[in-house]
Amino acid sequence: MMKKYIMALDQGTTSCRCILYDKQGHQVSLAQKEFKQFYPNEGWVEHDPMEIWSTQIGVAQEALLKIDATYENIDAIGITNQRETTVVWDKNTGEPVYNAIVWQCRRTSEYCDSLKEKGLTDAFRKKTGLLIDPYFSGTKLRWILKNVEGAYERAKSGELLFGTIETWLIWKLTEGSVHVTDYSNASRTMMFNIHTLEWDKEILAELDIPECMLPEAVPSSMIYGESSPRIFGGPIKIAGAAGDQQSALFGQTCFKEGEAKNTYGTGGFMLVNTGETPVESKNGLITTIAWGLDGKVNYALEGSVFVSGATIQWLRDEVKLIENAAQTEEIARSVSDTAGAYIVPAFTGLGAPYWDPYARGAVLGLTRGVNKNHLVRAALESMAYQTYDLMTSMAEDMGHQLNTFKVDGGACANDFLLEFQAGLMNMPLYRPECIETTSLGAAYLAGLATGYWESTDDILSNWQVDCIFYPDMEAEYREELLDGWHKAVKCTFGWAKS
Ligand code: ADP
């Protein structure tokens, strides 16, 4: 019998990847390629949607060729993507009217301030689960309509379409016949009512967005359509999509309420599944849709650490204390503590639960004996402290502790970091064998829609633990460390305010 795989398209912020998975969730082929970043103004970030498309298809072809597979070996395609990034294109020609405005782009800051000044914060939060911020797609879409000549009129007359990246890729794969967004991606647009699962008419009116350009919002696991036979030589079902962080939560098999994952990458992203009820945060976390599956919608609370592994890059590239990230583990272990030093890497302000855009980084608690090793250790510990703060916010909002905590991302290779993290959180951490959870989640969502996997139970057995980190820290010591951290964080507040 012919071997069948699931093709996961992982469209990230800096690169496109394609990974083929088998039934056990093992990677059988992988191809990856970076694409160009555009910085046309200070704080602006753009991508070329056509380059994203061609790069994505290029790596998909390459992944197939690498194992001599064809479209016939692929059961379905699942897509995961950088979230919030906004594309507008002509419905008839498929030509984007402007570059994709990337999630990191801050060009709509002032407009977002004006929405806040109008007192709309609560209204937006209640409907969308989000804080008003340039990060989300809505104000980026508005910017394109207001600033690209003729765009608003063309959108109104039904000539233009809007999409986040999964929408754009599905539209291109189906040669323009399917225009959909999955619930998890829709929930990042700041235009989507996460309770009713509809585009919110009041918000659309406020932002002045014609509804006819919006995609149909659909579950994260269903057959959306088939890829055009011209792309892979024959059609392949497109059967799943989810934003990168939600997809990672799914890939980590956090299917039940109270199950959480944290990704230690350049930044840190923590999500906890809150089941079928959206939980409103009192601690500055975001309420988001995790996925729509089997006629149900799962919600999540999300918090992010702006600077996580990037602190280690900073030590390497700017301070030049280390040569590579991996050596930080041995250096941190060479001392028994940080000798009272703390690094607060608030380089770009602080996110949840502090939300201070004016906070700036600081090294505190220095005494004459603090050396390079202590500082390296303090940098790693800062990643754990920030994650701890998100965890306590989540527990407070949910009204109970997390049930399970799974980790992934590049920096989760660091055992010292995870041991310290487990100690701080006073709970075990689980690191899976496959830390490529983002693309795996999209593969699972697609395979569930086609019957490649029968149920989430079928998938659970694929999740294999690599290491469990058990807490091993005295309560009194933990309190002492955390007191010091929170004191240090407070010192950074408001630093950049004039
Ligand atoms: P992203 O996908 O966000 O670009 P990755 O998940 O690949 O990032 O993780 C890379 C980040 O993790 C970098 O910021 C790097 O400094 C950090 N990192 C990688 N390996 C280690 C390590 N062994 N210890 C600590 N940090 C690490």
Say what the pLDDT of residue 397 is.
Answer: 96
Say what the pLDDT of residue 316 is.
Answer: 94
| Contact present, 164 and 185 (Cβ < 8 Å) | yes
Amino acid at 50: M
393 SS3 class: helix
What pLDDT digit, counting tens, does each position of 237-259 carry? 999 999 999 999 999 999 999 99
CB atoms within 10 A of CB 64: 22
Indicate the pLDDT class of residue 105, thresholds 50, 70 and 90: confident
Say what the pLDDT of residue 327 is.
Answer: 97
| Contact present, 125 and 131 (Cβ < 8 Å) | yes
Which structure tokens are listed for 294?
């089997």
User: Tell me, what DSSP letter sits at residue 134?
Assistant: T
Q: How many CA atoms lie within 13 A of 27 on its CB side?
A: 19
Mean pLDDT of the chain: 95
Q: What values do phi and psi take at 174, rounded to 5?
A: -95, 15
Indicate the pLDDT class of residue 341, thresholds 50, 70 and 90: very high
Listed in sequence order, the residues at least 6 apart from 4 whose beta carbon sits closer than 8 Å to its beta carbon are: 73, 74, 75, 452
DSSP 60-106: HHHHHHHTT--GGGEEEEEEEE-SS-BEEEETTT--BSSPEEPTT--
Long-range contacts of 12-16 (CB under 8 A, 24+ apart): 12/81, 12/82, 12/244, 13/82, 13/85, 13/102, 13/103, 13/104, 15/55, 16/52, 16/55, 16/56, 16/58, 16/59
Say what the pLDDT of residue 2 is.
Answer: 78
Whether the upstream peptide bond of residue 96 has omega within 30° of 0, thus cis, is no
Given a cut of 90, is residue 432 above it in pLDDT?
yes
Nearest to 380 by CA among 441, 321, 299, 437: 321
Say what the pLDDT of residue 497 is.
Answer: 79
d(CA 291, CA 303): 17
Say what the pLDDT of residue 431 is.
Answer: 96
**Mean pLDDT in residue range 326-337:** 97
d(CA 364, CA 204): 46
| Contact present, 142 and 127 (Cβ < 8 Å) | no
| Contact present, 172 and 94 (Cβ < 8 Å) | yes
Model pTM score: 0.93
Given a cut of 80, is residue 498 above it in pLDDT?
no
Q: Is the CB of 268 under 6 A from ligand 1?
A: no
Ligand 1 centroid–CA 494 distance in Å is 28
Given a cut of 90, is residue 461 above it in pLDDT?
no
Which structure tokens are listed for 433?
């064998």
Given a cut of 90, is residue 266 above it in pLDDT?
no
Say what the pLDDT of residue 145 is.
Answer: 97
Indicate the pLDDT class of residue 122, thresholds 50, 70 and 90: very high
Say what the pLDDT of residue 44 is.
Answer: 87
Q: Is the CB of 414 under 6 A from ligand 1?
A: yes
Partners of residue 264 on adjacent β-strands: 268
Given a cut of 90, is residue 59 above it in pLDDT?
yes
Q: Is the CB of 310 under 6 A from ligand 1?
A: yes
DSSP 15-26: EEEEEEE-TTS-
Which structure tokens are listed for 440?
């795996």
Q: How many CA atoms lie within 13 A of 275 on its CB side?
A: 6
d(CA 431, CA 279): 26
Ligand 1 centroid–CA 205 distance in Å is 41
Which residue has tokens 């970030």?
Answer: 45
DSSP 182-201: EHHHHTTSSSEETTTTEE-H
Say what the pLDDT of residue 149 is.
Answer: 96
Indicate the pLDDT class of residue 424, thresholds 50, 70 and 90: very high
Ligand 1 centroid–CA 341 distance in Å is 23
The dihedral over CA atoms of 409, 414, 418, 421, expressed in degrees to the nearest 10, equals: -90
Which stretch of 212-216, 275-279, 461-465 has the lowest confidence by average pLDDT?
A: 461-465
CB atoms within 10 A of CB 8: 33
Instruction: List the residue whose alpha carbon is closest to atom 23 of ligand 1.
Output: 326
Q: Is the CB of 265 under 6 A from ligand 1?
A: yes
Choose the residue to mutate in 414, 416, 436 for probing ligand 1, maximizing ligand atoms within 8 Å of C-beta: 414
Say what the pLDDT of residue 258 is.
Answer: 95
**Mean pLDDT in residue range 95-108:** 93
Ligand 1 centroid–CA 455 distance in Å is 33
Say what the pLDDT of residue 51 is.
Answer: 97
Q: What does R_g of the chain's alpha carbons equal in angstroms?
A: 22
Choose the residue to mutate in 11, 264, 329 for probing ligand 1, maximizing ligand atoms within 8 Å of C-beta: 264
Q: What values do phi and psi take at 274, rounded to 5?
A: -110, 20
Apex 393 CA angle, 390 and 397, nearest 5: 140
What pLDDT digit, counting tens, does each position of 355-395 carry? 887 889 999 999 999 999 999 999 999 999 999 999 999 99
134 or 97: which leads in pLDDT:
97
Partners of residue 386 on adjacent β-strands: none
